[in-house]
């Protein structure tokens, strides 16, 4: 136990050696009922969430929304979350179909197993002309119906 929040708040510390890393991973929690393995699992799940926030900010421009009222901020955030959700759905669809050749494996990370949001973005950019053609055809059909 390590008391970092004051002398009356006990915490649990887990120190783990992670394969492929020089430094040890240190996790600290006040949830004393958790086992060391549960702490590592929760950290890994939280890391995926943080990875998602990073993608929203760096890849989809979440930090760059400028508006004078609340509505544009909410609309921009919602549009970006939908975009990211669609990227994740495309990723799940590719995985369930057993598609593996589309994944970019950088020279410094050849054993990479799981694609990231950036990998899906790269895939969609490669097919941009086909996507635009399909969308313009679809929009053209909509205008004829209206």
Q: What are phi and psi of 31, to 5 degrees?
A: -85, 85
Burial class (CB in 10 A: 0-12, 13-18, 19+), 137: exposed
Q: What are phi and psi of 13, to 5 degrees?
A: -120, 135
In this prediction, residue 67 has a pLDDT band, given cuts at 50, 70 and 90, of low
In this prediction, residue 145 has a pLDDT band, given cuts at 50, 70 and 90, of very low
Query: Residue 22 pLDDT > 50, yes or no?
Result: yes
Query: Residue 56 pLDDT > 90, yes or no?
Result: no
Query: Residue 119 pLDDT > 70, yes or no?
Result: yes
What are the residues facing 13 on neighbouring strands? 28
DSSP string, 60-124: T-GGG---SSHHHHHHHHHHHHHHHHHHHHHHHHHHHTT--TTS---GGGTT--S--HHHHHHHH
Mapped onto helix, strand or coil, the DSSP state of residue 12 is strand
pLDDT of residue 103: 66
Query: Residue 1 pLDDT > 60, yes or no?
Result: no
56-60's contacts with Cβ under 8 Å and 24+ in sequence apart are 56/80, 56/81, 56/84, 59/117, 59/118, 59/121, 60/84
For the segment 35-48, the average pLDDT, to the nearest whole number, is 85
pLDDT of residue 92: 80
User: 11: which 2 tokens?
Assistant: 């915490």
In this prediction, residue 146 has a pLDDT band, given cuts at 50, 70 and 90, of very low
Which residue, among 34, 14, 39, has the nearest Cα to 24 in the 3D structure?
A: 14
pLDDT of residue 33: 94
Asked if residues 106 and 122 have their Cβ atoms less than 8 Å apart, the reply is no
């Amino acid at each position: 136990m390590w008391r970092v929040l004051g002398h009356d708040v006990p915490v649990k510390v887990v120190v783990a050696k992670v394969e492929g890393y020089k430094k040890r991973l240190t996790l600290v929690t006040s949830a004393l009922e958790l086992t060391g393995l549960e702490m590592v699992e929760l950290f890994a799940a939280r890391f995926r969430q943080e990875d998602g926030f990073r993608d929203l900010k760096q890849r989809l421009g979440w930090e760059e929304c400028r508006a004078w009222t609340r509505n544009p901020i909410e609309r921009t955030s919602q549009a970006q979350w939908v975009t990211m959700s669609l990227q994740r759905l495309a990723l799940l669809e590719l995985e369930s179909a057993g598609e593996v050749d589309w994944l970019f494996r950088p020279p410094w990370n050849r054993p990479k197993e799981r694609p990231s949001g950036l990998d899906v973005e790269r895939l969609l950019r490669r097919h941009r002309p086909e996507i635009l053609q399909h969308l313009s055809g679809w929009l053209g059909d909509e205008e004829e119906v209206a």
